[in-house]
Amino acid sequence: MQMPLSYSIRQAESHEFDQFLVYVNDLLSDNGRDGLGYFQPLSRSESRFPSERAAGFRTGLEVPFSQAGWRRLWVLRNANEKIIGHIDLRAHAERFAEHRCLLGMGVDRDHRNLGLGTRLIEHGEEWVKANASLEWIDLQVLSSNEKAIRLYEKCGFVRTGETPEMFRIDGQSFSYTAMTKLVG
């Protein structure tokens, strides 16, 4: 598939959250599917956005930036306004880490390998650069998710460590890789 001729990346507000949830639940429905592997620490039977996390995610979008618990979401939409990708950045839970943020992302299964993941990361980085108080972007990724790790490395993230056997999901062990990028 070609890169969509017309697409946009725009910051999503909390009233767009229900639409985002439909997209992200579809994305997560592939987690642990035969041949696709795991990309989230969720069991195959619970591969949807956990309802207790959904409320916190939505609330975070309304928390003013630089206050504890802030989160920002950008959605990639095609010409029909369908959500086909996202990136989100959020505060660390720890105090005194306000110069850092955490990244999450995904691209719809039918729109991968077109450079859209790269575009989303570039977009997130521009926002971080524009916020003088932020300097580092951190992330954690299942070590088995080679595709994502390759994308992050291409975008300048470096591995900072790995927790062996962090998760045991559906009878399998998964290590967790931490990565970071200095942006500011």
To ligand COA, the closest distance from the beta carbon of 114 in angstroms equals 5
To ligand COA, the closest distance from the beta carbon of 182 in angstroms equals 19
Looking at the Cβ atoms of 106 and 124, the one nearer to ligand COA is 106
Looking at the Cβ atoms of 134 and 142, the one nearer to ligand COA is 142
List, in sequence order, every residue forming a beta bridge with 85; answer none if it has no partner: 76, 107
To ligand COA, the closest distance from the beta carbon of 40 in angstroms equals 7
Chain residue at closest Cβ approach to ligand COA: 117
Looking at the Cβ atoms of 62 and 170, the one nearer to ligand COA is 170
Chain positions contacting ligand COA, by CB under 6 A = 3, 39, 105-107, 112-118, 141, 145, 147-148, 150-151
DSSP H or E run through 26: helix 17-28
**All residues at 6 or more sequence positions from 157 whose CB lies less than 8 Å from its CB, including other chains:** 137, 139, 179, 180, 181
Question: What tokens does 98 get?
Answer: 């306000």
Asked if 90 contacts 134 with a C-beta cutoff of 8 angstroms, the reply is no
To ligand COA, the closest distance from the beta carbon of 151 in angstroms equals 5
Please state the separation of Cα 59 from the chain's center in Å: 17
To ligand COA, the closest distance from the beta carbon of 67 in angstroms equals 25
Cα–Cα distance, 22 to 90 (Å, whole number):
21
Looking at the Cβ atoms of 131 and 145, the one nearer to ligand COA is 145
Looking at the Cβ atoms of 33 and 99, the one nearer to ligand COA is 33
SS3 128: helix
At 117, the amino acid letter reads G
